[in-house]
Structure 1
Amino acid sequence: MARGESRPPSFVGTPEAAVRDLSSELSDLTLDSEEGLRKFQRGEIYDDDLEWYRLVPPEARQVLSSSEVQRQSILFEIIKSEKDYVSDLETLQEVFIEPIVNTLAVPEFRVRGFIQEVFFNLDKILEHHKRMLGALFERQRDQHPLIQSLSDIILDNSLLFQDDYEDYIKHYPLAEARHRSELRRNSRYQYLLQQCSLAPRVRKRDLITFLSRPVTRLPRLLLLLENAKKYTEPDHPDMETIPLLIGILKDFIRSTQPGIAASEDKVKYWNLCESLIYQKGEIIDLDLYDESRSLRFQGPLSRRYKSNMDLHWADLHVALLDNYMLLLKPEARSSTVMKHHVVSRPIPLEYLRLGAFDGPPENRKEKAEDGSGILDRVRSRYRQMYPFTIYHASSKMSRRYTLYAGSEAARQKWYDALDEALGIRQVRQESNMLFAPHIINEGFFKHAALVAPYGLAAHYTGRVNAATELSFRKVLSVPNPTSMVALPAAGKLFVLHEDGLCSYSLDMLARAALGLIDSRKVDASRETIAGDVLFFRAGRVGNRFMVLYGQKSFLQVYLYALEVVSNADANHPRWSTSGVSSFRSFGDPLVIPKDTYNITVLSRRIVICSEKGISVADPANLSLGVKSTHLPDFSGSDLSLPMAGLKVRCAACKPLGIVRCPNSEELLVVYDELGCYMDKHGVPTRASGYLRWETKAVSYAHRGDYLMLISPEFIEVRTVHTGKLVQVLEGADMRRIDVGLLSPDKDSAQGTTLIAMRGREEQGLVADRILELVETSELRTPRVSDVPGQWEDFDIL
């Protein structure tokens, strides 16, 4: 080889020794480049000079092979890109985050949450890379211009920052969506970002570019390492470390993809939630912002409507959530904002049923959009639409929908999505029941399915009409009982049957059930309270045990109130005015509507439900009459259209009772088809909004924070405070059989709810199943509103 020609380095012995010898050989040639290296690390070199070969004397480059020159350039690029990355994260902190915190661009009460949602854990990622950049700079100062390896530094740090990167990358779509949402609606925020973009360090890049830097950094680093591997000699130590590092980064990047996809789905879901426009008046709590909510599937579908004896098509956007199905009408209000009108009441998945999905395609007539001639513009074309049917289980005909997909493949996708969503919803509901049905008795009570089969009449007891918390053994023979109530603290069992209202000794009843005494002694403890009784309620009113009953008289129905007295006081002459020694009258009887069908008690007021509406009376002073005959109070409906609309809706429904909202002075008026809120004076609240039940209730039960709406086929469990649907139980011929208790006894914190339903059928006989709905949630400490005397339930003015 001629003198003066450049030659590749000659490696003799181990590669490590060769690198040390070459570095020593180059050391004399790099004295002038030391200052350039220091300027590079301090950021004092122009961008055009930020290349490895610009910091290395030509003599140093000439002694290296072309592949080693490429390798050194790539290693320098790794350090340079790390330096730029740290600089960008610092710019993000100093130019964007700090001004947002220190100004009023985002209101003070939510700026901390905004910073957390948008910038998440960028501070932790910045600390990781400051540490790694410091180690890279130190290696560069020690070995410049011929760096032996950087892979050990990157490997050590990558094992430390993976968890924080995983959190950030999976959260990134949510951060970007939160930023864009704020940008659309907050002009102060828009102005601040415009000012931030003027900073020289930003270089006209927007905030999204900076936020996405951690998402693109690791793929960029992976690409540089793969390129470095191509130019690394086979016997170099990096040929062991770099493949290991590449594998770690690839696996990590691959593992974050599902998280990113899930976050992107969450963003789509949030955008949908923000675009919804509901019909006025109705209060709908879809529980949209629960952590577990998700958008299972969405897409365009069509419906056909009949108008003026003709059918026309309407395009819808249908969204399938994990808890509801929404039929929406899209409306583009601008080029960037899409709103969706809820055109039909959302269908809970508990009620959603699938009909036919195999119907033949139908033709949809459309105007041709192509063609230049006059005939082409008016000529119609036909597009095939593929129908499928869904319906509401409680309104099979009135809420039955035939929807049309644009292709057979789209129809099949909808079927698969619906079938999967319904299956997942059912499993989740069954494994997370708020009230679990506990079978108390099955098979003992039997009645004829249609007509009693010949020869089997002796084997059935009749349909269960009433029950209380007692064992199921026959101890009484009374004709056609319709309701019963046990008051253990008062020692009484009340039974209403065709002969009237009677009471029995609960102690005697228990002894007879255990076989300790003859059942005739139970009959001996009987006290007849009244005859011609239409209904009764018994329980605690304030500090007293009371019996309230409605008795039919000539052309009138009277409400009587009796107090249960102890055995020690039973013989007191002043307390026997009712004619029954265990009770004393409480005021004079009250005339109530003849069509009264239910009464409930809230603290010191009797709520009387009739076909004419709701009335209120004081059980201690029945002679004072009814204080208000119209609840809710719609006297202001002439001046309020929402209240006028609510008045019309309530007038068409049957009132069932009133319950108190937890931790509030509001009351929920329960009708068979809807509910509405009012204050303690009876005036509607919540802008006269209303809740609509999914099924028409026959009765209800109030259990703490929850309301059970009971119909023959379904039991809806809803929160009292918002009306949110939390559980649905399905059955046949379901009915509440423990009706009659005024309120849960104070010694039994939550009370109980007993349900009878149709069970199995054998040989023409139906066996009733008796269930207790047992609350499965954690035991709760008493609320302030549960303490007697905190506030009167209501005081109608």
Structure 2
Amino acid sequence: MNEYSSRGDLTSPYSPSFNLSADEADLNLNRLTRELSNITLHSEDGLRRFQDGELEEKDEEWHHLVPAEAREALGKREVERQSVLFEVFKSERDYVADLQLIEEVFVEPLNSASPPIIGDVNRQQNFMSIVFCNLDQIRLHHERMLEALFDRQQEQHPLVQSVADIILESALQFQGDYESYIKHYPLAEQRHRTELKYNKRYQEFLQDCSQDPRLRKRDLITFLSRPVTRLPRLNLILKHLHELTDINHPDSEDLPVILSILNDFLKSTQPGIEAAENKVKFWDLCESLVFNKGEIIELDWYSDTRSLIYAGALARRSKSEMDWNPWIGLYVALLDNFLLITKEEKRGGVRKRLVVSRPIPLEYLRLGSFEDPPETRKERVEEGGILDSFRGAYRSIYPFTIFHAVEKSTRRYTLYAPSESVRKKWYDALVDAKGVDDVRREANQWFTPQVVEDGAFRVPSHKMPRQTVLKRPPSGRVVQAVSFVTNGGKTFMAVGCSTGIFVGRKGENYRKILSFENAKSIIVLQDFNKIIIHHDSYLISYSLEVLARVAQYQSPPSSLDASLETIAGQNVLCCQAGQMGDRTILVYAVKNFLQTTVHVVEACHPSEIRSASPRVMQAGLLSFRPYGESLYVPKDVFAVMPLAKTIAICTERGIVIANPSSASSSAVTLVPDFGSASHNSATADLKTRCEDAKPLGLVRHDATELMVIYDTMGCYITKYGQPTRDSVFIRWEIKATSFLHRPPHVLLFSSDFIEIRDTQTGLLKQVIEAVDIRLLIQAPLSRGSLYVAMLGQKDDEDGLSDRIVELVETTEITKTPIAGPFKVVEGLWDEWDM
């Protein structure tokens, strides 16, 4: 009998029961290892077969590879510890085999499939990167770790002293890749499930894969989740190993370090997992939404910042008094940019959420009362007799109110939460979401308001002293504002108010130069030294240079009369200037008894005027000459707009497109062209909506498509006027009174909000809120300064101020490149002989 077997239940050589020094313990361990190796030479073949995966599953245990004498020599505690160590080897081998199976059975066939199984090449690459993420990097880490573990096992079997050093080194290396994968995993699973749901070829591919016996009836989700469960399982094994390790063993110091690293790492990944799971819930919500047909509701789904903040079931009272059930069940979802109110339905076993009210952007969402007392709701009893079902049961529900900032009464919602705690959660979620949205919008403004004047222009208020003659009478409400530059390089502003037109330099005193009250339009033609004023049905022009000299008291006011030119003498409805080719033209509409006539004149350069003959000068109008032919429109005109080769005339029936250079020979087109409405329901619906809206103008999106701007909505047409994009439309959140196009954005103005949208998608990009907003320039396609008036912040004895702000387009802040290595200037060190 071996000498160790006579000890009976022999403990580890590191156990305190040996009562040996560390050196003696090492000698004893080495001697024990040699003895065990001598009696287990026949197990080397079994160990090789285990590492190659050739053993039967029932034989893959440490005690099957070690003779009974060896087990008796070690004692019960060390046998259990060796069994746990063997589990480290076994689980790592199986894990690496599964990672290799993912590559061989799923990844490689998908990559080599021709044609691609997942759509086109780009879509397949995107799918592979999302679903399989960085599995290849994780596999490489564990292949190296397994190789080191197997080398250690071959060296020390059957009495493996330690593997802590190998695991510690590997853990420090693979943490980063695991963090990326674990946080990304919910997205990978959702992408796989979505593809499986809609792609028949992918379904067939996975069905073929399932026939591989190596998978042992496990699906792809099982394999994808292996890295997620691997580290927690390894953590449990090492924890068990630590419990079986004697205090004098070196592992008693190393294992706690590894366990601490793994525990801290797993905790640190939890927020990332929750964020990814939240993203999956968001995608699930997106898939289930059903919107009304015909309307573009651009929620910006694919933005990386999009997320679901909070969601849950709420109730709302039915508006119908005839409804036997006065309560409507709703599913309300709060995104980081919108609030969605939906009603859940089951269609063919699939849950769908019908959007029952247009989504409310957080910029327009307002919170009402969250403190109203609870109300009672009667619910039918599902069990019991007929009378019980009529009696029902009562429970408390807790109301709260939200509403749209523009439509405060028509889009006001009182919702009911099932408990006070749920109502509080909704309040906290809404407040937090709006707070974050405010900060995000503040940091990502496309246009930033910069104050030009707040105090120079006033309207009467109750704080003004009651006296007949004021030292500084109020200018009245600001209605127009333009800026221009004189030959001396000085910048001036001309501001139209309810009492007249004031001129002055920015930041200095303004002088009332013209007594034209409430000018409808003020247009500056800088290159032609002209300012055009539409006042009281007249259209006149003055010299900019003379106007500036009068404002600075360098010329008398009477000198303006010498530069006065009357473009149209009466009944002018509207006007607009713009470019048509290389011409600068002015379009204006004149109302007659039965129709409206649209005229076009071309601005003449000052050099042409100076070279004109005396006969021409005596003819009257010098700065403008007629261009093309007059156009006749049988309806009232809202606005006129010069386009690239034609002009647009906004009327009650729509927008008329005409070519003034050949008005008699070319056809006049009305856009949008709803000729297909009789056989296309989508076009017919768009036609009805457009007829109920007021056209404001056109915006060119690209060479083939334009956006038609109405006061409540917008739609897209071809350059020939036919509706595009399946006749869909975009509804504004406001009712716009005017607009401005600053590619790639269109700005919509109402009295309380400025709405900035992307021209291509209609996506709401920014909202600016103020009181009594007015667009001060009437040039929708202008690239000059963009002035807006709003209620000011000063209210004193001089009156209530009207503030003028300039909307300045922002530019993206680019990262400053990091300075590269120092470059020696040639000859710099010559005098030092270096």
TM-score range (shorter-chain normalised) is over 0.9
* Residue 534 (structure 2) aligns with: 496
In structure 2, which of residues 505, 508, 513 is the aligned counterpart of residue 476 of structure 1? 513
* Residue 152 (structure 2) aligns with: 139
Alpha-carbon distance between aligned partners in 1 of 2:749 and 2:618, rounded to the nearest angstrom = 39
In structure 2, which of residues 645, 648, 651 is the aligned counterpart of residue 607 of structure 1? 648
In structure 1, which of residues 49, 55, 63 is the aligned counterpart of residue 65 of structure 2? 55
What amino acid does structure 2 have at the position aligned with 1:179?
H
Q: 2:622 aligned with 1:581, yes or no?
A: yes
Alpha-carbon distance between aligned partners in 2 of 1:494 and 1:82, rounded to the nearest angstrom = 83
Residues 434 and 775 in structure 1, CA contact (< 8 A), matched pair in contact too: yes
Q: 2:21 aligned with 1:13, yes or no?
A: yes
Aligned to 1:695, the other structure's residue is in SS state coil
In structure 2, which of residues 698, 712, 720 is the aligned counterpart of residue 658 of structure 1? 698
What amino acid does structure 2 have at the position aligned with 1:461?
S
1:27 offset after TM fit, Å? 2.9
Q: 2:356 aligned with 1:343, yes or no?
A: yes
In structure 2, which of residues 784, 789, 793 is the aligned counterpart of residue 751 of structure 1? 784
* Residue 376 (structure 1) aligns with: 388
Q: 2:636 aligned with 1:591, yes or no?
A: no
In structure 1, which of residues 393, 396, 403 is the aligned counterpart of residue 415 of structure 2? 403
Residues 5 and 72 in structure 2, CA contact (< 8 A), matched pair in contact too: no
* Residue 78 (structure 2) aligns with: 68
1:105 offset after TM fit, Å? 4.3
Q: Normalized against structure 2, the TM-score is what? A: 0.88
Aligned to 1:61, the other structure's residue is in SS state helix
Alpha-carbon distance between aligned partners in 1 of 2:648 and 2:380, rounded to the nearest angstrom = 62
Instruction: After TM superposition, list the pairs within 5 Å mapping 1:99-110 onto structure 2.
Output: 99-103=109-113, 105-109=117-121, 110=123
Residues 790 and 802 in structure 2, CA contact (< 8 A), matched pair in contact too: yes
* Residue 487 (structure 1) aligns with: 525
* Residue 362 (structure 1) aligns with: 375
Instruction: After TM superposition, list the pairs within 5 Å mapping 1:115-130 onto structure 2.
Output: 115-130=128-143
Mean alpha-carbon deviation: is it higher for 164-173 or for 421-430? 421-430
Alpha-carbon distance between aligned partners in 1 of 2:776 and 2:665, rounded to the nearest angstrom = 33
Residues 547 and 561 in structure 1, CA contact (< 8 A), matched pair in contact too: yes
Residues 577 and 642 in structure 2, CA contact (< 8 A), matched pair in contact too: no
What amino acid does structure 1 have at the position aligned with 2:131?
V
What amino acid does structure 1 have at the position aligned with 2:346?
A
1:584 offset after TM fit, Å? 1.3
What amino acid does structure 1 have at the position aligned with 2:387?
L
Q: 2:397 aligned with 1:385, yes or no?
A: yes
Are the structure 2 counterparts of residues 52 and 206 from structure 1 closer, same or farther at C-alpha, using a change threshold of 3 Å? same
Aligned to 2:215, the other structure's residue is in SS state coil
1:698 offset after TM fit, Å? 0.3
* Residue 499 (structure 2) aligns with: none
1:624 offset after TM fit, Å? 5.4
Q: Provide, for residues 130-155 of structure 1, a one-character-per-residue CA deviation record: whole Å limited to 9, x for no partner.
A: 00000111111111111121000111
Mean alpha-carbon deviation: is it higher for 762-771 or for 614-623? 614-623
1:118 offset after TM fit, Å? 1.1
Aligned to 2:40, the other structure's residue is in SS state coil
Are the structure 2 counterparts of residues 288 and 775 from structure 1 closer, same or farther at C-alpha, using a change threshold of 3 Å? same
Q: 2:678 aligned with 1:638, yes or no?
A: yes
Q: Provide, for residues 429-455 of structure 1, a one-character-per-residue CA deviation record: whole Å limited to 9, x for no partner.
A: 112111111111111011124898633
Q: Provide, for residues 351-374 of structure 1, a one-character-per-residue CA deviation record: whole Å limited to 9, x for no partner.
A: 111112222322323221122x34
Aligned to 1:489, the other structure's residue is in SS state helix
Are the structure 2 counterparts of residues 624 and 443 from structure 1 closer, same or farther at C-alpha, using a change threshold of 3 Å? farther
* Residue 193 (structure 1) aligns with: 206
Are the structure 2 counterparts of residues 374 and 17 from structure 1 closer, same or farther at C-alpha, using a change threshold of 3 Å? same
Mean alpha-carbon deviation: is it higher for 440-449 or for 511-520? 511-520
Residues 590 and 625 in structure 1, CA contact (< 8 A), matched pair in contact too: no
Residues 528 and 606 in structure 2, CA contact (< 8 A), matched pair in contact too: no
Q: 2:586 aligned with 1:547, yes or no?
A: yes
* Residue 168 (structure 2) aligns with: 155
Residues 707 and 717 in structure 2, CA contact (< 8 A), matched pair in contact too: yes
1:279 offset after TM fit, Å? 0.4
* Residue 777 (structure 1) aligns with: 811
Supply the RMSD in Å over aligned alpha carbons: 2.4
User: Gaps (5+ residues) in structure 1?
Assistant: 745-749, 781-797
User: Gaps (5+ residues) in structure 2?
Assistant: 484-491, 494-503, 505-509, 815-834
Aligned to 1:345, the other structure's residue is in SS state strand
Aligned to 1:338, the other structure's residue is in SS state strand
1:248 offset after TM fit, Å? 0.5
In structure 1, which of residues 296, 313, 325 is the aligned counterpart of residue 339 of structure 2? 325
What amino acid does structure 1 have at the position aligned with 2:52?
R
Alpha-carbon distance between aligned partners in 1 of 2:147 and 2:153, rounded to the nearest angstrom = 10
1:348 offset after TM fit, Å? 0.7
Residues 75 and 228 in structure 1, CA contact (< 8 A), matched pair in contact too: yes
Q: 2:454 aligned with 1:442, yes or no?
A: yes
In structure 2, which of residues 770, 795, 808 is the aligned counterpart of residue 762 of structure 1? 795
Q: Provide, for residues 533-559 of structure 1, a one-character-per-residue CA deviation record: whole Å limited to 9, x for no partner.
A: 332222322211222222344554332
1:172 offset after TM fit, Å? 0.6
Alpha-carbon distance between aligned partners in 1 of 2:480 and 2:667, rounded to the nearest angstrom = 30
Residues 12 and 18 in structure 1, CA contact (< 8 A), matched pair in contact too: no
Residues 545 and 564 in structure 1, CA contact (< 8 A), matched pair in contact too: yes
* Residue 608 (structure 2) aligns with: 569
Are the structure 2 counterparts of residues 21 and 192 from structure 1 closer, same or farther at C-alpha, using a change threshold of 3 Å? same
Residues 566 and 582 in structure 1, CA contact (< 8 A), matched pair in contact too: yes
Alpha-carbon distance between aligned partners in 2 of 1:496 and 1:37, rounded to the nearest angstrom = 98
Aligned to 1:388, the other structure's residue is in SS state strand
Mean alpha-carbon deviation: is it higher for 727-736 or for 755-764? 755-764
Mean alpha-carbon deviation: is it higher for 294-303 or for 408-417? 408-417
Are the structure 2 counterparts of residues 3 and 91 from structure 1 closer, same or farther at C-alpha, using a change threshold of 3 Å? closer
Are the structure 2 counterparts of residues 149 and 513 from structure 1 closer, same or farther at C-alpha, using a change threshold of 3 Å? farther
Alpha-carbon distance between aligned partners in 1 of 2:457 and 2:654, rounded to the nearest angstrom = 36
* Residue 670 (structure 1) aligns with: 709
What is the percent sequence identity of the aligned residues?
A: 48
1:763 offset after TM fit, Å? 4.1
* Residue 659 (structure 2) aligns with: 618
* Residue 98 (structure 2) aligns with: 88
In structure 1, which of residues 457, 461, 464 is the aligned counterpart of residue 478 of structure 2? 464
Q: Provide, for residues 140-175 of structure 1, a one-character-per-residue CA deviation record: whole Å limited to 9, x for no partner.
A: 111111112100011111111111000000011111
1:108 offset after TM fit, Å? 4.3
What amino acid does structure 1 have at the position aligned with 2:731?
R
What amino acid does structure 2 have at the position aligned with 1:579?
G
What amino acid does structure 1 have at the position aligned with 2:271?
P
Mean alpha-carbon deviation: is it higher for 601-610 or for 565-574? 565-574
Q: Provide, for residues 206-246 of structure 1, a one-character-per-residue CA deviation record: whole Å limited to 9, x for no partner.
A: 21111111011111111111111111121111122111111
Q: Provide, for residues 630-667 of structure 1, a one-character-per-residue CA deviation record: whole Å limited to 9, x for no partner.
A: 32111221111111111111111110001111x45111
In structure 2, which of residues 741, 746, 751 is the aligned counterpart of residue 707 of structure 1? 746
In structure 2, which of residues 719, 729, 733 is the aligned counterpart of residue 680 of structure 1? 719
Alpha-carbon distance between aligned partners in 2 of 1:742 and 1:258, rounded to the nearest angstrom = 48
Mean alpha-carbon deviation: is it higher for 467-476 or for 270-279? 467-476
Q: Normalized against structure 1, the TM-score is what? A: 0.92
In structure 1, which of residues 217, 220, 223 is the aligned counterpart of residue 236 of structure 2? 223
Aligned to 2:788, the other structure's residue is in SS state strand
Aligned to 1:468, the other structure's residue is in SS state strand
Q: Provide, for residues 391-429 of structure 1, a one-character-per-residue CA deviation record: whole Å limited to 9, x for no partner.
A: 111011111111111122222211111111111111111
